[in-house]
Structure formats: structure tokens, C-alpha cells
Structure 1
Amino acid sequence: MKQLVIISGKGGTGKTTITAAIASMAENAIIADCDVDAPNLHLLLEPEIMETSDFYGMDIAHTDTEKCTGCNICVDNCNFGAINADHSINSCKCEGCGVCEYVCPENAIKMIRNPSGKVFDSMTRYGPMVHAELMIGEEASGKLVTAVKEHALSLARENGSDLVIYDGPPGTGCPVIATITGADLALIVTEPSVSGIHDLERIIQVTDHFGIPAIVCVNKYDINEENTKQIEISCEERGIIVAGKLPYDTIPNKAMIGKKTVIEYSDNGFSESLRDIWRTVSSELDATP
């Protein structure tokens, strides 16, 4: 079983559109949306939710008012100002560090599990999919990404799947690191803008640091062919394969409006370019140990 992660270093590069297209071409695969802060792969694949699981992120402090004597030791030791005047806990400020529970002489404060999101095991027209939703204002998105991956890998083992496809979050932070951990190959989707080139460099540094083999797809390459050439030269110098280039086109938007993948929507040059990219990705996956 191989694990393919599709990442971008920044938002808006077309990563999810390409992920959905790959999902429509792959066989015997599990699909997972690891962008738990702003999931949108489900908009294209329209999964039917089969099972929902609660996700518990960091614990939140809770005060037993009957035990509390108002000594203020907890207030003095809380670095986040999360304890109100009546010694109740402001859950929006609590960081779950547990200091208040540790210092309370009356054992009036306990850390309790706090539901902060949900994980969905679903079925799409292209096979099983795992996705999640982090509640508004909640943290620990990296832990939720890990939960999504655990569900996806469990489904893959149950179904005897050959591949798990992860639609990664943008950026280079904790959720991205959680997504790429254990991956066999990273497909980095970039664009020939100044920010696209900058963030491509950053995400390559991340994949290099964690020893994840990476290849690159340049989306909307023709909006600045000079910058596209710069990306190709940079990748060649690093020994990174450019799996393909996609032109700027209205087809992805039209397909998205129709809740279809690009491959489903039309069979033209754009779709064929995506098929070529998938063939390259498949070849690189087969070559990984």
C-alpha cells in the first residue's frame, strides 16, 4: 500500500481540483481530505456519510464550585487569564496546559475531554473517503489530521487498497507536517506567481527535511511563462521531476460548479494533461521502496 500526499505550500493553487481528478483516475484507492480547517474535497465528490466519530483535541479545565475555596492560587498561576473572577473557566482562553489542576490544593479543578471536531467515514462514487471538520475556534488541527489518516489507513487495510490519496492543507505548518508524515510521495502543486515560487521553496524544504520524495505540478503555467521556466530550472537543479504543466482554463471552475471532477466534466487537452501527470505520479509511486 502506497501513500500519496498532494500539497501546495499555499492556498489557491488548484490542489483540491487536481486531487479530485487523481481520485477519479486511481483504482482501489482510499481518499482522505486532510485540510480539516477548511475541507472542500467533499464538494466535488459528494460523499455519503457512513459513520461519524467525535474528535477530542486538547482537554479543557473545569472547576467544581462546591470544592473551590476561592484561594486564587489557580488565578495566580494561569498564564492565559483563563480563570474568571468566580473561578469558572473561560474555555476560549484555556490552553489546556493543566497548571490550574496541578496547583489547586482542594482538587477543585479537573481537566476534561473537550469535543472539538468530527471525523467522517464516507463513500464516494470513486470509493471510500475520510474527511473531518474542526469546530469553530478549536485548535489541535494537526491531531485531527492524524485522526483522519488513522481512519484512512484502517479502511485501506480492511479493503485491501493499493493506495491512499491525501488532499493536504495549504502552508507549511503543523497540519501539513502531520499530513506528509509517512507518505511515499508528495505531489506539490504550484503556480508561477511570486508567492507561488516563494511557497514552493518553503514546502520543498519541509519535504526535504522529513525525507519525503517530491515531484511538482505547475498549474496555470501560461499566466507567467518566465516564472514557470524559473520553477523548472529550480526543480532541475534540485533533482525534482516536474510531472506536468496545466494551462489557465475555465474548465476546472465549470466542473466544480457541476460538482464533477475535471476528468468527468470533459475529455480534452486539459484532461489529457492531467492523465499524463497521473501516469508520472503512478510511475514515481511504483519506484518508491
Structure 2
Amino acid sequence: MSMKQVVVLSGKGGTGKTTVTAALVEQAGRAMIADCDVEAPNLHLLLKPRTSRSYTMSVSRRASIDPGLCTRCGECEGACRFGAIREFRVEKHVCEGCGLCERLCPAGAVSMEDQEGGEVFIGETRCGKMVWACLAVGEEASGKVVSQVRMEAQALAVEEGYDLLLVDGSPGIGCPVIASVTGADLALMVAEPTLSGRHDLVRALETAAFFRIPSLVCINKCDVNEVEAERIRAECSSRGVEVVAEIPYLEELAEAARLCVTPLEALEGEAA
């Protein structure tokens, strides 16, 4: 049987996407897990994997000036539209890595250097192996890091015989989301019943539809605004998308997030 890939998405942050993913992981029992929210990863806070391996990766380049070769002609500083070169030194956090200064330097004093753009982690949870990453501060190329997390997780899943890959996707609809949904068999959208939540859910549904990925919807905190919850149901119905779950607001789940435990752990604790 071929491996199935399910990605959990939300049109905006803060809808409960990661909490829902953690619950699905526990319900699955055994699954390969990937946290593709590399700008603010927190699934590992709930699942507490034991890290077995990690490595840094480069996703961009920045200019560097060799003072021993620089003739201080000013060609690079005059040409840099980003203002990244001042007093014949490169401000790394301003440089966009376009490489124009390297091409223009008559002395060959400018070179482009790879930068550490993020760190990828592989670990073991009680429900299966997990891959996640953290984007470096100030780095913009998050899509490349997301793609690396997915590829690492897919390779491990095939190697170790997993039949399910659960992905905690990036919020929004930008490049990290597109990298998150690549190759997915199904997208589960987690929405909250607010005006902005409904608006961003529509954008996320349209993004998945563009890539021909079927979607299902989960309404989180469904009882805090019944008017907007009903509008979400109507919107999904008009698009032929099924609302498969509705989660009421529970203090226990809010407390679970505060304590960094999964929803099932919190609810089992209440039952005990």
C-alpha cells in the first residue's frame, strides 16, 4: 500500500492547526511527522521528540568583500540598490544576495558566500519519527527549508515503511504553504469562526484547489461565534467541501497549550 500524505493547513496563524495535528498524530498511533511551519515551529513542544540528528543548510548567499583585494573604488557601493555596502563593508542583514557587486568589482574582491539559513532536526516521538526545522533569524527563503523537511520526512517514511505522513503545514498561502502541500493527498483546513478566519479559509481552499489537492475543513472553537461558524459551513457547502469536525471551545485545551501537552493528554488527565 502506498504512503498517504495529509497536510494540516490554516489560512492564518493561531487557529489551532498545530494542536489539531498533534491530536491526529496520537490518533494515528504510528505516523511519520513533519513540522513545516519552519518560521515558528512548535509541534515539537507538544510531541517532545528525542533528537537523534540535526544539520544546518544553506538557502541563500550574501556578498563578502576581501579587504586585501579591495581597491576602494566604490563601484560596488554605488551599484547596490539595497544600501548593503557601506565604507567598503557588507551589511549582511541588508544584502539581498543579488550578486551585482561581485560582477562589477574590477579587482575581484567581492565574492558570494553561502549562509546558514536554517537547522533541520530528526527525532523520535512515541508515535513515530519526526522532522522539523528552524529558519535562521532574518532569513527569507523559508520555502527551501520547508521543502527540505518534506523531502527528509518522505525519504525516512519510505525507508522505514510508514504508510502515513502527517504534515503540520505553514500558515497563510505563500511559498512555505505551497512547499508544504506539494505531493499531498489531502489537505485538512483548520478554521476559526471569525470574519478574518473565514476570509483566510477561503484563500487556503483556493490555494489547495489550484494544486488539485482535495480539502476537508475542521472548525475550531466552533461555539464562540455561531453566526460565523454557520457562514463557514455555508461557504464550504457551496464549494463542495465537507466540514468533517467541529471542536468546541474547552478550557482544558487552552490549558494543554499552556502546559505544552497534546489535547488527548489533557483530556485524559481530566478524565483520570
Same topology, TM > 0.5: yes
Determine the C-alpha separation between the residues in 2 that align with 1:97 and 1:4. Answer: 36
Which one of the candidate residues 82, 85, 90 is aligned to 2:84?
A: 82
Structure 2 counterpart of 1:251? 252
- 1:107 CA drift (Å): 1.4
Pairing 1:40–2:42 present: yes
Determine the C-alpha separation between the residues in 1 that align with 2:214 and 2:74. Answer: 53
Determine the C-alpha separation between the residues in 2 that align with 1:241 and 1:106. Answer: 63
Structure 2 counterpart of 1:14? 16
- 1:265 CA drift (Å): 2.7
Q: Deviations over 1:173-217 (max 9, x none)?
A: 111111112111100000111110111111111111121111100
- 1:255 CA drift (Å): 2.5
Q: Deviations over 1:45-83 (max 9, x none)?
A: 111110011021211111111111112221222111111
- 1:222 aligns to what SS in structure 2? coil
* Identity value in percent: 48
Pairing 1:147–2:148 present: yes
User: In the comparison of the two structures, how many residue pairs are matched?
Assistant: 268
Q: Runs of 5+ in structure 1 lacking a partner?
A: 269-289
Structure 2 counterpart of 1:186? 187
- 1:206 aligns to what SS in structure 2? helix
Q: Deviations over 1:133-173 (max 9, x none)?
A: 11222221111111111111111111111111111121111
Determine the C-alpha separation between the residues in 1 that align with 2:165 and 2:240. Answer: 25
Structure 1 counterpart of 2:93? 92
Q: Deviations over 1:5-58 (max 9, x none)?
A: 101111111111100000111143111111111111111111111001102121
Determine the C-alpha separation between the residues in 2 that align with 1:127 and 1:28. Answer: 5
Structure 2 counterpart of 1:281? none
Structure 2 counterpart of 1:175? 176
Which runs of structure 2 are paired with 1:1-289 in the superposition (5 Å)? Answer: 1-85=3-87, 87-267=88-268
Determine the C-alpha separation between the residues in 1 that align with 2:199 and 2:75. Answer: 48
Determine the C-alpha separation between the residues in 1 that align with 2:93 and 2:267. Answer: 47
- 1:239 CA drift (Å): 0.7
Q: Give RMSD over aligned pairs.
A: 1.6
- 1:25 aligns to what SS in structure 2? helix
For 1:88, give the aligned amino acid.
R
- 1:136 aligns to what SS in structure 2? coil
Deviates more, 1:13-22 or 1:75-84: 75-84
Determine the C-alpha separation between the residues in 2 that align with 1:70 and 1:212. Answer: 54
- 1:267 CA drift (Å): 5.0
TM-score, structure 1 normalization: 0.89
- 1:118 CA drift (Å): 0.4
- 1:80 aligns to what SS in structure 2? coil
- 1:71 aligns to what SS in structure 2? coil
For 2:54, give the aligned amino acid.
T
- 1:256 CA drift (Å): 2.9
TM-score, structure 2 normalization: 0.94
- 2:171 aligns to what SS in structure 1? coil
